[in-house]
C-alpha cells in the first residue's frame, strides 16, 4: 500500500520519555500503514509502546521523531475523526451509564429522541440493559469497559483506536462482544487499530496482526490473517490456518516476552 492511500500512517516514528532524570527510547523506527477499513491488531510485551502509538494516532501525544498521518495530513491535536477506547476506561463518574454513552451524540447535537433510541440499542448490544440509570461507581470493571466501548461505537467514528477493550471480560462475554464488533465492523467499514494481549482475539478479528518487540518497541513482525471472512468467532479457532497463525505469533511474542524478562 502506498503512503497516500493509508488512513493512518506511521513514518519513522520514535518516542522518547524522561525517567529518573534521563531520557529513554520507548518506541523506535515504527513504519506502518493502516488502510481505510482495515482491522489492524497490535500485540506486544507490556511496556513496548502500544498505548503510546494509539496516543499519537489520537493526537494526544507527539512523536519525538517522524510523523503520524491521518488521511494524508499530520494528525490534528486532538484527532476528532477517531474514537478512542483507552486502556484505563475514562467513563465520567458524575454521569449515569445512559448519559455517558449519550455524550458523543449530545456533543454532535443529535436529536433527543434519536439519542434515546441509539443509546438504548447500544446498551442492549453490550449487555448493559437495565443499567442505564446506574453510575460508574456501581459497576464492575468489565461493565465500565463496556460503557466505554458503547460510548465509542454509538457515534460510528471513521476509525476506532481500541486499547485492550475486552481485557477485563470473562471468556464468554468476550466472545459475544467480539462477534458484535465483527458485525459492526462489517456493516460500517470502520478502520480499527486494536491492541490486545490475546493472540486468539487478534487472529479472530484482524486482517493483520502487528507484533511489537520489547522496549524500545519496534515492529518485529506483521502477519496477514488469511482466513476467509466472514469468520465465525465461535468456530474460527478450529480452522487449521488459525492453529498455524497462532503458533507463528505465539513463537514471535514469547521470544519478546522472554527477552524482556531476562533483561
Ligand atoms: N507519559 C509518559 N511519560 C513517561 N513515560 C511514559 C509515558 N507514557 C508511556 N511511558 C513509558 O513508555 C513505555 C511504553 O508505554 P506504553 O504505555 O505505550 O506501553 P504498552 O505497550 O501500552 O504497555 P501495556 O501492555 O502494559 O499497556 C513504558 O516504559 C512507559 O513507562
Ligand atoms: Mg498499554
The pLDDT score that the predictor gives to residue 85 is 93
Tell me the best of 21, 23, 24, 26 to mutate to test the pocket of ligand 1, counting ligand atoms within 8 Å of each CB and taking the most: 26
For residue 24 the three cell numbers come to 529513554
For residue 76 the three cell numbers come to 490534528
Distance (Å, whole) CA 190 – CA 84: 13
Q: Is the CB of 72 under 6 A from ligand 1?
A: no
Q: Which structural domains are found in the chain, ordered by start?
A: 3-81+158-262 (3.40.50.300), 93-157 (no CATH)
The pLDDT score that the predictor gives to residue 40 is 98
The pLDDT score that the predictor gives to residue 2 is 55
**How does DSSP classify residue 197?**
S
Distance (Å, whole) CA 86 – CA 145: 9
First CA to last CA distance, the chain: 36
Is the bond preceding 78 in cis, omega lying within 30 degrees of 0? yes
The secondary structure element, H or E, covering residue 145 is helix 141-153
Buried b (16+ CB within 10 A) or exposed e, 178-197: bbbbbeebeeeebbbbbbbe
The pLDDT score that the predictor gives to residue 4 is 66
Tell me, in angstroms, the distance from the centre of ligand 2 to residue 168's CA.
13
The pLDDT score that the predictor gives to residue 90 is 86
Distance (Å, whole) CA 211 – CA 222: 6
The pLDDT score that the predictor gives to residue 145 is 87
Q: Is the CB of 50 under 6 A from ligand 1?
A: yes
139 contacts: CB under 8 Å, gap ≥ 6: 97, 131, 147
Rama region for 224: left / alpha / beta (φ>0; ψ in -120 to 50; rest): beta
The pLDDT score that the predictor gives to residue 1 is 57
* Tens-digit pLDDT string for the chain (263 aa): 555 699 999 999 999 999 999 999 999 999 999 999 999 999 999 999 999 999 999 999 999 999 999 999 999 999 999 999 998 888 999 999 999 999 999 999 999 999 999 999 999 988 899 999 999 999 988 889 899 999 999 999 999 999 999 987 888 889 988 998 998 898 889 999 999 999 999 999 999 999 999 989 999 999 999 999 999 999 999 999 999 999 999 999 987 777 767 77
- The residue nearest atom 7 of ligand 1, judged by CA position, is 17
Amino acid at each position: 500500500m502506498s503512503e497516500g492511500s493509508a488512513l493512518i500512517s506511521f513514518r519513522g516514528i520514535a518516542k522518547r520519555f524522561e525517567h529518573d532524570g534521563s531520557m529513554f527510547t520507548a518506541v523506535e523506527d515504527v513504519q506502518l500503514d493502516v488502510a481505510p477499513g482495515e482491522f489492524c491488531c497490535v500485540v506486544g510485551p507490556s511496556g513496548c509502546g502500544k498505548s503510546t502509538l494509539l496516543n499519537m494516532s489520537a493526537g494526544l501525544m507527539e512523536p519525538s521523531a517522524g510523523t503520524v498521518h491521518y488521511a494524508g495530513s499530520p494528525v490534528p491535536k486532538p484527532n476528532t475523526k477517531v474514537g478512542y477506547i483507552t486502556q484505563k476506561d475514562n467513563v465520567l463518574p458524575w454521569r449515569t451509564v445512559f448519559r455517558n454513552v449519550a455524550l458523543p451524540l449530545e456533543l454532535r447535537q443529535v436529536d433527543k429522541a434519536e439519542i434515546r433510541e441509539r443509546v438504548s440499542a447500544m446498551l442492549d448490544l453490550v449487555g448493559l440493559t437495565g443499567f442505564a440509570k446506574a453510575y460508574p461507581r456501581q459497576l464492575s470493571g468489565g461493565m465500565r469497559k463496556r460503557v466505554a466501548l458503547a460510548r465509542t461505537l454509538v457515534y460510528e467514528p471513521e476509525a476506532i483506536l481500541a486499547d485492550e477493550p475486552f481485557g477485563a471480560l470473562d471468556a464468554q462475554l468476550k466472545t459475544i462482544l467480539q462477534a458484535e464488533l465483527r458485525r459492526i465492523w462489517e456493516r460500517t467499514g470502520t478502520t480499527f487499530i486494536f491492541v490486545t494481549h490475546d493472540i486468539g482475539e487478534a487472529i479472530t478479528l484482524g486482517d493483520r496482526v502487528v507484533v511489537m518487540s520489547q522496549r524500545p518497541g519496534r515492529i518485529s513482525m506483521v502477519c496477514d490473517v488469511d482466513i476467509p471472512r466472514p469468520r465465525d468467532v465461535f468456530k474460527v479457532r478450529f480452522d487449521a490456518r488459525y492453529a498455524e497463525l497462532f503458533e507463528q505469533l505465539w513463537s514471535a511474542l514469547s521470544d519478546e516476552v522472554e527477552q524482556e524478562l531476562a533483561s
